[in-house]
Structure 1
Amino acid sequence: MVHRKEIALLIVQKLTEEKESLKVRFLESQNEIGFFYIDDLLPEDLVYAVYKNFPKLSESKQRKNIREHKYVAYQMDQYKPLLEEVIYAFQDEKVVHIISEICGLENVLPDEKLYAGGLSLMTKDNYLSPHIDNSHDKDRQLWRILNLLFYVAPAWKAENGGNLELWNKGLQGKPILVESSFNRLVVMTTHQKSWHSVNKVLVDDVRCCVSNYYFSKTPLLENENFHVTTFRGRPSQKIKDFILKIDNSLRSSVRKVFKKGIRENPHHYKK
């Protein structure tokens, strides 16, 4: 089996090769939702192996509500060892360093606990409504600043749905569509204006994604305040948007009273 250090070196090598062009791409979007993506990140046979080792939907935890419908897996010792190796390759200090350089950020920190990270699976009719991510880490000590999404489903096409949408002009504008292409890594900033979503999967297949977050002691934007994961409806979903605004307000009120919520969020790796 390939070790996480070996995978990390492969990631660093690829990012280093395209470092200058990725810097330019990130800089062009930095004033809205800073992001870049890179294709063919790892050797194809390795990425196929990661895909083949993904858990079945029945082995994952389903999240189905008005905000989202998807499957997640994060207790990594319950799954094939290769999956833990590839996830923690993205947490390697050399990978964190090169991505920090591309984004022009300092003092970026990985998250060993994989809070809200891990594996994401989406099948037909699954979706993720427009949202901004929770502003902090598990213990509410650090600010969430970068979201890393590594797509591993072979031959995934834009017409399959299940693609990332970046609402860089706000929810009344038109989002940037980033295809969930095989062997593509997307890195995007997370802050109170980084609205993003995943459009509905339209095919009877499973979109598989390896998800990681990076944190910092300071937020990306000035005047950033703590916020829960905040969902909204799409521009055409007026009633849903109204309901989600109420839902956001209720959940935010709870967190003002209970700093870590009424119960601890279970979505982290308990080693």
Structure 2
Amino acid sequence: MTRDEFSDLIFSKIEKNQEVLSKQFEASKTKIGFFYLDDLLPNEIAIKISECFPKSSEMVLKKSIRENKYIAAQMNLYHPILEDIIYAFQEERIVKLVAKICKIKEAFPDDKLYAGGISLMGKNQFLNPHLDNSHDKERERWRVLNLLYYVTPDWDLKNGGNLELWPNGLSKNQITIESKFNRLVAMATHNNSLHSVSPIVVDKERKCVSNYYFSNEPLELSDTFHVTSFRGRPENKITDLILKTDTWLRMNLRKIFKKGVKENPHYYKKGSKN
């Protein structure tokens, strides 16, 4: 399939479900706005996308107290279908439709895939509760939406590796959104959109295609600049203390170095093979 054909299918599916998705986002937007849509693409296409994911050894491992996962943004190193499905979500009419559903005045895709692209997580891997970086790579636009498309066949809730939203903070119960096969999730990103991925407890790989949308204005008037800010899970009090200190230190460094001490390598370097 071509990129345009992917876009046609995605747009048609979202448009047909626009009313339901709008109600879903509206009902949740006072905390962390989100919607999800199942069976986004024909199953055989979603399976093909999953089959074309690179091996973990061909991706970048991010492993620390904050997170443990494999990522990739240099899409020209992999099967073309992966780049096509990522950029299909960046087609103008799809961006405008999703923004309309979420009642966002304007939204722009990120062709550099800053912190986007594809990710893979296996047994014991996780992503601790965190706020996404508030801005794009150049710190010019605000991050407003996170689009996640899951492509692991037969994924089950009990496997772990599910998206968790913490609209009332870590002292209250989270909302769990299953990383169900062929499911698209869109969630708002702002100063209070704390989210995580639960640890995977089975010997199976969770595969995800990620995009971010940005805007010239933040979602909330109270939003302020922040680096990616991690917390520990509620049961991990010591980890939480360490991560809060880590965030404080990195935030203070950014007051001195506006774009950071070193460049974040997680973006698509067009024309490069590295």
Aligned with 1:104: secondary structure?
A: coil
Displacement after TM superposition at 1:256 (Å): 1.0
Aligned with 1:145: secondary structure?
A: strand
State the match for 2:63 in structure 1: 64
Displacement after TM superposition at 1:254 (Å): 1.2
Aligned with 2:101: secondary structure?
A: helix
- Correspondence 1:139-158 to 2 at 5 A: 139-158=138-157
* TM-score normalized with structure 1 length: 0.99
Displacement after TM superposition at 1:236 (Å): 1.5
Aligned with 1:211: secondary structure?
A: strand
State the match for 1:26 in structure 2: 25
- Correspondence 1:10-49 to 2 at 5 A: 10-49=9-48
State the match for 2:8 in structure 1: 9
1:181 corresponds to 2:169: no
Q: Which amino acid aligns with 2:239?
A: K
Q: Which amino acid aligns with 2:70?
A: Y
State the match for 2:243 in structure 1: 244
- Correspondence 1:80-95 to 2 at 5 A: 80-95=79-94
State the match for 1:254 in structure 2: 253
Mapped to 2, the partners of 1:37 and 1:108 lie a distance apart of 19
Mapped to 2, the partners of 1:255 and 1:22 lie a distance apart of 37
State the match for 2:204 in structure 1: 205
Mapped to 1, the partners of 2:179 and 2:199 lie a distance apart of 12
Q: Which amino acid aligns with 1:252?
A: M
Mapped to 2, the partners of 1:53 and 1:29 lie a distance apart of 34
State the match for 2:231 in structure 1: 232
* Unaligned ranges ≥5, structure 2: none
Mapped to 1, the partners of 2:146 and 2:61 lie a distance apart of 21
Which string of whole-angstrom CA distances, capped at 9 and with x for unpartnered residues, describes residues 2-51 of structure 1? Answer: 11111011011001111101110000001000000000000111111100
Mapped to 2, the partners of 1:214 and 1:7 lie a distance apart of 18
Aligned with 1:188: secondary structure?
A: strand
Aligned with 2:109: secondary structure?
A: coil
Aligned with 2:219: secondary structure?
A: coil
> Which runs of 4 or more aligned residues in structure 1 lie more than 4 Å from their structure 2 counterparts after TM superposition?
none
Mapped to 2, the partners of 1:196 and 1:224 lie a distance apart of 17
Displacement after TM superposition at 1:105 (Å): 1.0
Q: In terms of mean alpha carbon deviation, does 233-242 or 172-181 score higher?
A: 233-242
* TM-score normalized with structure 2 length: 0.98
Mapped to 2, the partners of 1:241 and 1:7 lie a distance apart of 41
Which string of whole-angstrom CA distances, capped at 9 and with x for unpartnered residues, describes residues 133-190 of structure 1? Answer: 0000000000000000000000000011000000011111100000000000000000
| RMSD (CA atoms) | 0.6
Which string of whole-angstrom CA distances, capped at 9 and with x for unpartnered residues, describes residues 89-135 of structure 1? Answer: 00110110111111111111111111100001000000000000000
Aligned with 1:149: secondary structure?
A: strand
Aligned with 1:113: secondary structure?
A: coil
Mapped to 2, the partners of 1:6 and 1:165 lie a distance apart of 31
Displacement after TM superposition at 1:193 (Å): 0.2
Mapped to 2, the partners of 1:106 and 1:9 lie a distance apart of 23
1:134 corresponds to 2:133: yes
Mapped to 1, the partners of 2:264 and 2:22 lie a distance apart of 35
* Unaligned ranges ≥5, structure 1: none
Mapped to 1, the partners of 2:157 and 2:222 lie a distance apart of 36
Aligned with 1:31: secondary structure?
A: coil
Q: Which amino acid aligns with 2:104?
A: L
Displacement after TM superposition at 1:207 (Å): 0.2
State the match for 1:220 in structure 2: 219
